[in-house]
Amino acid sequence: MTSSEERHVPVMLQRCLDLLAPALQEPGAVVVDCTLGLGGHSQAMLDAFPEVSLIALDRDPQALKLAGERLADYGDRATLVHAVYDELPDVLDRLGRPRVQGVLFDLGVSSMQLDEADRGFAYAQDAPLDMRMDQSTGVSAAEVLNTYPPGELVRVLRSYGEEKQARRIVEAVVRERQKEPFRNSARLVEVIREALPQAAKRTGGNPAKRTFQALRIEVNGELAVLERAVPAAVDALAVGGRIAVLSYHSLEDRLVKQVFAAGAASTAPPGLPVVPERYLPRLRLLTRGAELPSEEEVARNRRAAPARLRGAERVREVVKE
């Protein structure tokens, strides 16, 4: 096993640092890395802002162990917590940090999870169909494939993989699981290949990509977690605090966009001559739409290709009526 530094190239790193910088230069600033992974973004923030304190969350115990080794030299500047990122309010409450100056999300599956064959995230290599980010809890991808009713499997593939051929794939999966339960990824990839029409196999990269994405999101409850986590992170920001979110597919990015847009909009009824403060926006958008990685970065790190970055700044507290 190589070191975490060698195995993980943080995506859009300098741009994330630039977005967060004005908030993290505040005296006593606290930044939360909601998706620690192998610690690349966290280490860069600790280095770039020598006075900042870090709280880092991850649901994957193996990632926490490796990142903990990487960040050991930073001592009590770095607090690592085993938690899913929608647990952020509880974590901050336990640590006595109700308000923070920065929050970073680097969503999706980590480099470590993709590279460890026995995790089952990657369709390019044969592995047990697990896909749990925390292997100590929840149902595996194999259990989803082998036990979900056909209609529910179609919903998962359509909703989370945006798979147009969902019904055709599910029909093939149901036929095959009656012969023998699914256990490994290679068999699923082959079933998908055989189920798809030739035209569908000629576009969009590996034909199993969307199905694997859908299963991973279902197994880890990723969109439901994100739907709770991003508003909670905005609520945790002090005035002047900043949030940056890296998404890797349109479902994540759309959800982040909606939360940021709602926070940056006035909620005043139309026609008011003077808008009361409670109706004013509480966020200011820092990015025009979603920013993309440069061609140079994608050439260096192919995993950056689908990245979409959005940022926002907290500009006022919510006024209670």
Flag whether 120 is marked binding: no
Tokens for 261, please give them: 């847009």
Q: Which residues contact 59 (CB under 8 A, 6 or more apart)?
A: 82, 83, 84, 85, 133, 134, 220
The reported pLDDT for the residue numbered 314 is 98
Q: Can you give the pTM of this predicted structure?
A: 0.87
Flag whether 76 is marked binding: no
Flag whether 40 is marked binding: yes
Flag whether 126 is marked binding: no
Contact 107, 226 (CB under 8 A): yes
Flag whether 106 is marked binding: yes
Flag whether 148 is marked binding: no
Q: Residues of the chain whose pLDDT is less than 70?
A: 1-8, 109-124, 199-204, 319-321
Secondary structure of the chain as H, E, C letters: CCCHHHHCCCCCHHHHHHHHHHHHCCCCCEEEECCCCCCHHHHHHHHHCCCCEEEEEECCHHHHHHHHHHCHHHHHHEEEEECCHHHHHHHHHHCCCCCEEEEEEECCCCHHHHHCHHHCCCCCCCCECCCCCCCCCCCCHHHHHHHCCHHHHHHHHHHHHCCCCHHHHHHHHHHHHHHCCCCEHHHHHHHHHHHCCHHHHCCCCCCCHHHHHHHHHHHHCHHHHHHHHHHHHHHHEEEEEEEEEEECCHHHHHHHHHHHHHHCCCCCCCCCCCCCHHHCCCEEECCCCCECCCHHHHHHCHHHCCCEEEEEEECCCCCCC
**Each residue's pLDDT tens digit, 118-166:** 554 566 678 889 989 888 888 999 999 999 999 999 999 999 999 999 9
Query: Which domains are seen in the chain, by residue range?
Result: 4-106+222-314 (3.40.50.150), 117-220 (1.10.150.170)
The reported pLDDT for the residue numbered 273 is 79
Flag whether 90 is marked binding: no
The reported pLDDT for the residue numbered 187 is 94
